[in-house]
Amino acid sequence: MSEEKIVVTAVSSITPLGNSISEITEKLIKGISGISVITRYDLNDFPVRHGGQIDDSILNKISYPFEKVNLQFKLFYYCVNELFSKIAHNYTGSKIGCALGTDPNTSTIDDLQVLFKRYHDTTSKTYSKFDVTKLDNINPSFLMYHLSKNFGVNGPCLCNLGTCSASTQAIGTAYRLLQNKTVDMMIAGGVSSKTDPISIARLCRLEALEPTREDLNENCRPFDKKREGFTIAEGCVLFVLERESDALRRNAEILCEISGYGAALDGFSITDPHAEAKGMVWSMERAIYDSGISKDAIDYINAHGTATVKNDSHETKAIKKVFGEKAYNISISSTKSMHGHLMTAAGAMEVLDCIIAIKNKFIPPTIKYSNLDEECDLDYTPNVYKRKVINHALTNSFGLGGQNASLIVSKY
């Protein structure tokens, strides 16, 4: 394995906490929630009507390669455009790749209406005029196609479909492809926009989402005894990753080092964590081992902390198994309490949270925390941020289907 450091040199984000680093930093320090009543779709008849929403007006500031583009495409394209405007590189296209956490179907509700109606009309023999190119953007490869066409990216480009750990795994893949010198630069991160009625309906049937409460301030309470499920959110967070020597050569600002990656399959339950939290433990241990640092060197854990009953108690159990007694002395937080669960973009969002925390020397809080759960008895940095120098942060992402992934984000 290459001894060279892999570093992050640029970021672009559109998140429920804002789009600029300064905005997100301020909200993470002050503990301000980006969760509100979802207005993009009519969810009045749903038990879940809240989520972490982005301010999508920013998306109108640039033009897109064609007229009718859906929200996920806009999110991705906007962030890629911003990334390339920030960096001056001279890598050849075939040495630039992309790894993106996303869903197998990147359609919006409008796309699905077209798709469903086409099927309905055909099966009921009431044919209507149909233009299939309207549906091109339901295929995640469409994002990669335009990354190549409009930004000259010609290396390996892939979508990671690992549900809630997808973007953590995507960043891990980018890290590996840079280590083994398959590429010189990677765009890596995640995109998600699933606050639509179909996604909400499916997750409601799984009983994964917390019903909307009368007072939204009572929604989304990771590690709190009264937690009842996760809060869905949307957004896109993308990074530029390079080898340190290349970044230094082009005088790039280095935001952090990605120093370790680990992942594991539970092989236990499709919806629940492993009863003994095995996958979570392996994922964290592998990331720490890969980084070459000792467990004692971890200053902060950005927990997956979804606010589902099982995730939070199992993640707590896993942290204790990995760190032993030291677990009680590590600062932990779930930033999802502020921005919600960005699903396939969650891992990337939380890497960004770690970068901001490292750069600004603070532990972000877990907000809305008030009731101690005896199964969740670690230091979750309740409600108020803490000043602290962070040299190494561990960030966790655990997804449906027993996917577990962890990254070590280190100060540079």
Partner 1 sequence: MKNNTVVITSTTCVTSLAEDPMNLWEELSKGNIGIDKLKKFDNNSYSCGFGGIASDFNFRNINVIGKNIMNRTNQLEFYSVMKAFQNTNFSENSLESCNLYLGNHIINIDTETMEIMIKLCYENDNINFSKLGTNLKSMSPLNGVKLLPTTPSHFIAKENNIHGKGDVVYSSEISGLLSLMLAFNEICSGNVDMAVVASSYNPFTPHEFLWLCDQGLIKKTSPDDDSKKLVFPFDRKHNGMIYSEGSAALILESEESAKKNGRKILAYIDGASSNIFAGETFYSLSKKGFSENINSTLENSNIKKENIDVIFSNAPSYPSWDDAELEVILDIWNENQVIISNSKSYLGFTGPVSGIIDCILSIISMNKNKYLPINNFEEASAKFEGKEKQYINCISKKDLKRSLITSAGIGGAYSSVCLRGGNVK
Kindly list the catalytic residues: 164, 304, 341
Which one, 207 or 375, has the nearer CB to partner 1?
A: 207
The stretch among 75-83, 155-163, 369-377, 378-386 that binds partner 1 (CB under 8 A) is 155-163
Query: In this structure, which amino acid lies at residue 307?
Result: A
**Residue 44, interface with partner 1 (CB under 8 A)?**
yes
For the bound state, the minimum distance from the C-beta of residue 364 to partner 1, rounded and expressed in Å, comes to 28
**Residue 176, interface with partner 1 (CB under 8 A)?**
yes
Element (H, E) at 62: none
Element (H, E) at 258: strand 256-265
User: Closest by alpha carbon to 208, among 71, 378, 344, 399?
Assistant: 399
For the bound state, the minimum distance from the C-beta of residue 408 to partner 1, rounded and expressed in Å, comes to 15
Q: Are 34 and 15 contacting, i.e. CB atoms less than 8 angstroms apart?
A: yes
Size of the site for partner 1 (CB under 8 A): 92
| DSSP letter (8 states) at residue 66 | S
Burial of 282 per CB tally in 10 Å (0-12, 13-18, 19+): buried
Which one, 46 or 254, has the nearer CB to partner 1?
A: 46
Residue 163 token pair = 């549900």
Q: Are 71 and 161 contacting, i.e. CB atoms less than 8 angstroms apart?
A: no
Q: Which of 10, 11, 153, 233 binds partner 1 (CB under 8 A)?
A: 153
Q: Which of 39, 60, 85, 113 binds partner 1 (CB under 8 A)?
A: 113
For residue 300, the cross-strand partners are 331, 393
The stretch among 56-64, 167-175, 291-299, 386-394 that binds partner 1 (CB under 8 A) is 167-175
The stretch among 199-207, 312-320, 330-338, 363-371 that binds partner 1 (CB under 8 A) is 199-207
Q: Are 195 and 341 contacting, i.e. CB atoms less than 8 angstroms apart?
A: no
Q: Which of 37, 39, 85, 119 binds partner 1 (CB under 8 A)?
A: 119
**Residue 266, interface with partner 1 (CB under 8 A)?**
yes
Q: Are 190 and 236 contacting, i.e. CB atoms less than 8 angstroms apart?
A: yes
Residue 63 token pair = 């033009």
For the bound state, the minimum distance from the C-beta of residue 355 to partner 1, rounded and expressed in Å, comes to 23
Q: Considering only residues 203-232, where is the footprint of partner 1 by CB under 8 A?
A: 203-208
Q: Which of 58, 112, 216, 297 binds partner 1 (CB under 8 A)?
A: 112
The stretch among 50-58, 174-182, 226-234, 355-363 that binds partner 1 (CB under 8 A) is 174-182
Element (H, E) at 196: none
Q: Considering only residues 71-100, where is the footprint of partner 1 by CB under 8 A?
A: 94
Query: Whole-angstrom Cα distance, residue 167 to residue 164?
Result: 8
Q: Which of 160, 193, 333, 337 binds partner 1 (CB under 8 A)?
A: 160
For the bound state, the minimum distance from the C-beta of residue 53 to partner 1, rounded and expressed in Å, comes to 17
Q: Considering only residues 353-382, where is the footprint of partner 1 by CB under 8 A?
A: none
Which one, 36 or 154, has the nearer CB to partner 1?
A: 154
User: Closest by alpha carbon to 194, among 21, 387, 395, 344?
Assistant: 344
For the bound state, the minimum distance from the C-beta of residue 127 to partner 1, rounded and expressed in Å, comes to 8
For the bound state, the minimum distance from the C-beta of residue 166 to partner 1, rounded and expressed in Å, comes to 8
Q: Which of 87, 154, 309, 379 binds partner 1 (CB under 8 A)?
A: 154
Query: Whole-angstrom Cα distance, residue 229 to residue 330?
Result: 25
Residue 300: phi, psi to the nearest 5? -150, 140
- Torsion of the alpha carbons at 357, 363, 365 and 371, rounded to the nearest 10: 150
For the bound state, the minimum distance from the C-beta of residue 4 to partner 1, rounded and expressed in Å, comes to 10
- What character string, x for contact with partner 1 (CB under 8 A) and - otherwise, covers 120-139? x-xx-x-x--x-xx-xx-xx
Q: Considering only residues 270-309, where is the footprint of partner 1 by CB under 8 A?
A: 270-271, 278-279, 282
Q: Are 341 and 374 contacting, i.e. CB atoms less than 8 angstroms apart?
A: no
Query: Whole-angstrom Cα distance, residue 127 to residue 321?
Result: 60
